[in-house]
Structure 1
Amino acid sequence: MSGTAPEPAPEPTPEPSLEARRAYELDRAHVFHSWSAQAELDPMVVTAAEGSYVWDGAGRRLLDFSSQLVNTNIGHQHPRVVEAIQTQAGRLCTVAPQHVNDQRSEAARLIAELAPGDLNRVFFTNGGAEAVEYAVRMARLHTGRHKVLSRYRSYHGGTHTAVNITGDPRRWPNDQGAAGTVHFFGPFPYRSPFHSASPEEETERALEHLEQLIGFEGPDAIAAIVLEPIPGTAGIMPPPPGYLTGVRELADRYGIVLIADEVMSGFGRTGRWFAVDHDGVVPDLMTFAKGVNSGYVPLGGVAISERIAATFAHRPFPGGLTYSGHPLATAAAVATIEAMRDEKTVENAAHIGEAVLGPGLRALAERHPSVGDVRGLGVFWAVELVADRATKEPLAPYGGTSVAMGELVAACKAAGLLPFVNYHRLHAVPPCTVSEAEAREGLALLDRALETADRHVRAH
């Protein structure tokens, strides 16, 4: 008889509640999901959330290391934001955008106060994609030009112009080659398209490439350069020193409008109010959404420089939205910004990145051969997973997924961690309000889950 103790029986999977089961069945019968093959979906039911956690239909608690779609910067169910929405609903639920409402006015003032330079005017939209659409429209009308340059490995939204500007595979089925967009390579030291040997060389070569592209496309035809100061969904790639400053100089040299897409990187995500603040760069237009009110009520917008706003001082701007500056959404934005200031949420995001996530993720990279690269700022980090560190072969193909990544996601959820995964990367993007203890808990859960990815590393 062996002296080895038997393996403990696995914990039974909790059964979903009747309410959760009904919600799931109705979803599968009637809801059409984005970016998905409908028959292949098995979505998780979320019944509650608070702070850095969500609860699924079976009552299991998961640490939200995704911030949903990297938008709940202030955490779930922040009492000040919830109260602001409730109060506003009691006094004025909605009003047409041609009228003044106090919450929209105050939200615009606060955003202008936080934005860099003279971005003092705000056009409100319902989300990030619309913000990009309208920023491009403003740039084209301001310059009288049509072409727009944007980088590969980027995401700018799912509407027509925004998805054509996008530089990842979600553009491919929607790309008709008719939106006047041209893509360029941005800096990415880990997978350098320029074969650079240092960050300085990467900056130099990336800027040379961009200037050559401007020359080939015709400077007098280019209305705007659109870029995420730190690309989000495409891989969280902080640019090497000097790159954003160089892009600003190229835009000025050729009379091109610089649009910074801060939809994902803005409002504290990188440990500053906006990612451009790390380089001291002031764009001509800046799009925002997500973290402006953590998505409690849909809201986005464009912060506009005085020079571009002056174009429309006596010339009507041809665009608008029924829900532009919606009172419930802007009330949530006012409460979010005020709470983030009072509670030093942006400072917390910077501290968590410097003291916990950065060191912790780099330690995981030393222990797990499946981790090829770790990069980020604040609470905005990417873990790049590879099958072979030497060749940097990704653990899933660009634009797709793999068995290995599926197993990793399942292991994370089974351990109690809700991850953000895109292709061969896992992003560590908890709320900006995450505590040190919660961030360390997430790292410990990820440490265990990465053992599943390690099993797919190619042995030499």
Structure 2
Amino acid sequence: MSDAAEISAAERDHVFHSWSAQGSVNPLPIAGGEGCWFWDHDGNRYLDLASQLVNVNLGHQHPRVVAAIRDQAERLCTVAPQFGNETRSTLARLIVERAPGDLDAVFFTNGGTEAVEHAVRMARLHTGRHKVLSAYRSYHGATAGSITLTGDPRRWANEPGVPGVARFFGPHLYRSAFHATTEEEESDRALRHLAEVIQFEGPDTVAAVLLEPVVGTNGVLVPPPGYLAGVRELCDRHGILLISDEVMVGFGRVGEWFAVDAWDVTPDLITFAKGVNSGYVPLGGVVISRRIADTFTDRAYPGGLTYSGHPLACAAGVASIQVFEETDLLRRVRRLGSEVVEPALRELAERHPSVGHVRGRGLFWAVELVRDRDTREPLVPFNASGADAAPMNQLAAAMRANGVWPFVNMNRLHLAPPLVISEEELALGLKALDEALAVTDALVG
């Protein structure tokens, strides 16, 4: 078996890495994982507070999911999507049974970015309109259409993108674009802003509003009361479809099958991936309302994928949903979020002057770090890199030194552990964060 040095050398020489300057790539070779932990070839163990890329919801090597993949491989490893397959249809049924409203069909993809691409295609074909509105604080994927729809800086180097995309500001009370001072004001003003964007873009040209119900990588932004319902009403008023991008927050991350359930809102299309099977085999998809699916009853849908509904991926998805149900995992996630994580983070915020704000839901939280609580100046500049980003890199390094692997983005540390994490493991991760915050506290003026 190759040692860590050989693996690292092969990675640098032959693997082209995403979002990276290839000359600076130095990935840590991982030897294995189990539950909420993974380890390197030197035996260093890390508590995975990032769930890799916020996708390993059932943790590493869950025996039920691994067994389902193995059993499916022994029966049928793959089949073209034009054939029927029991595992695929079973997963589709399980998903729509848990989806809100009349969403009762599933188009399977290989991941989240393809799900967004196809949801937008369906919306345009259904409405006969071409524009899609998306938020500035958003991430929707890295293929041509989804990176254009993305609001954050990863979009910049990929521009110009596809036509027909306009943007709006979503609600974010801590850094309000609307000078709001309460959640009610933020919700109302954000909705009035979106209504104006629709007006100035031309309501009859807008096919869909695409949003993350809880914004993920761009800050774990939980919508204020009334906001999602208000977006739904705006869309209905103008014949616009609502697409809920739940690639990151679907399947339990915030304690619901789909995050929109927490606000009792039914979108027209839901995109999913990541948590549907913890990424054991790549899988994503679009959950489609009946009226949109009926658009293609006698009209061919102009899209498809060789691996749509791959049997191994779907087998992992079926097993995952069964585990969720049998362990009452959604209820557990809600309890851990409200009774363990939130109180602990609020207590940390009181003691650490570099903590400007904490927010989240379920097992999805952000700790926003600042240089000054009064001015809310971020600890590092927007889209910082190199030396400017050093404080956040030092924070992450301090946590890794204590055996905890964090998720850091811009001036925030996100907590997104596997949903199966124990209270003892949560306490360990929170203790590592508490100790690491000494690094950032030292920078507060």
Equivalent in the alignment of 2:394: 407
Report the AA paired with residue 274 of structure 1: F
Structure 2: how far apart are the matches of 1:100 and 1:410?
49
Equivalent in the alignment of 2:133: 149
Given the alignment, which residue of 439, 456, 460 partners 2:426? 439
Scaled by the length of structure 2, the TM-score of the pair is 0.98
- 1:321-369 deviations in Å (ceiling 9; x for gaps): 0000000000000000001110111111111101111111111111111
Q: 4+ runs of 1 displaced by more than 6 Å?
A: none
Given the alignment, which residue of 328, 352, 377 partners 2:361? 377
Report the AA paired with residue 233 of structure 1: T
Q: Does 1:389 align with 2:373?
A: yes
Given the alignment, which residue of 18, 29, 43 partners 1:34? 18
Residue 42 (structure 1) shift: 2.1
Report the AA paired with residue 405 of structure 1: M
Structure 2: how far apart are the matches of 1:362 and 1:248?
32
Conserved? CA contact 2:145–2:161, under 8 Å: no
Conserved? CA contact 2:144–2:161, under 8 Å: no
Equivalent in the alignment of 2:314: 330
Matches within 5 A, 1:157-196: 157-196=141-180
Pick which of 20-29 and 307-316 moved more. Answer: 20-29
Q: Secondary structure at the match of 2:358?
A: strand
Structure 2: how far apart are the matches of 1:80 and 1:244?
36
Conserved? CA contact 1:352–1:439, under 8 Å: no
Structure 2: how far apart are the matches of 1:38 and 1:395?
27
Scaled by the length of structure 1, the TM-score of the pair is 0.95
Given the alignment, which residue of 102, 120, 124 partners 1:140? 124
Given the alignment, which residue of 250, 267, 273 partners 1:283? 267
Conserved? CA contact 1:370–1:388, under 8 Å: yes
Equivalent in the alignment of 1:70: 54
| Identity across the alignment (%) | 61
Equivalent in the alignment of 2:232: 248
Residue 177 (structure 1) shift: 4.9
Residue 179 (structure 1) shift: 2.4
Matches within 5 A, 1:36-51: 36-51=20-35
Equivalent in the alignment of 2:404: 417
Given the alignment, which residue of 300, 318, 322 partners 1:316? 300
Bigger Rg over Cα = 1
Unaligned 5+ runs, structure 2: none
Matches within 5 A, 1:54-93: 54-93=38-77
Report the AA paired with residue 282 of structure 1: T
- 1:260-318 deviations in Å (ceiling 9; x for gaps): 00000100000111110111000000000000000000000000000100100000000
Residue 175 (structure 1) shift: 2.1
Q: Secondary structure at the match of 2:60?
A: coil
Q: Does 1:111 align with 2:95?
A: yes
Equivalent in the alignment of 2:194: 210
Equivalent in the alignment of 1:5: none
Equivalent in the alignment of 1:453: 440
Report the AA paired with residue 105 of structure 1: S
Report the AA paired with residue 300 of structure 1: G
Q: Secondary structure at the match of 1:124?
A: strand
Structure 2: how far apart are the matches of 1:77 and 1:423?
30
Conserved? CA contact 2:109–2:307, under 8 Å: yes
Structure 2: how far apart are the matches of 1:177 and 1:113?
36
- 1:202-251 deviations in Å (ceiling 9; x for gaps): 00000000000100000000000000000000100100000000000000
Structure 1: how far apart are the matches of 2:285 and 2:161?
26
Q: Does 1:348 align with 2:335?
A: no
Matches within 5 A, 1:297-308: 297-308=281-292
Conserved? CA contact 1:266–1:291, under 8 Å: yes
Conserved? CA contact 2:365–2:416, under 8 Å: yes
Q: Secondary structure at the match of 1:90?
A: helix
Residue 25 (structure 1) shift: 1.2
Structure 2: how far apart are the matches of 1:228 and 1:240?
13
Report the AA paired with residue 151 of structure 1: A
Structure 2: how far apart are the matches of 1:287 and 1:440?
33
Q: Secondary structure at the match of 1:265?
A: coil
Conserved? CA contact 2:144–2:162, under 8 Å: no
Report the AA paired with residue 327 of structure 1: P
Give the length in aligned residue pairs. Answer: 442
Pick which of 45-54 and 281-290 moved more. Answer: 45-54
Structure 2: how far apart are the matches of 1:56 and 1:351?
32
Q: Secondary structure at the match of 1:430?
A: coil
Conserved? CA contact 1:21–1:57, under 8 Å: no
Conserved? CA contact 1:44–1:57, under 8 Å: no
Matches within 5 A, 1:213-224: 213-224=197-208
Q: Secondary structure at the match of 2:106?
A: strand
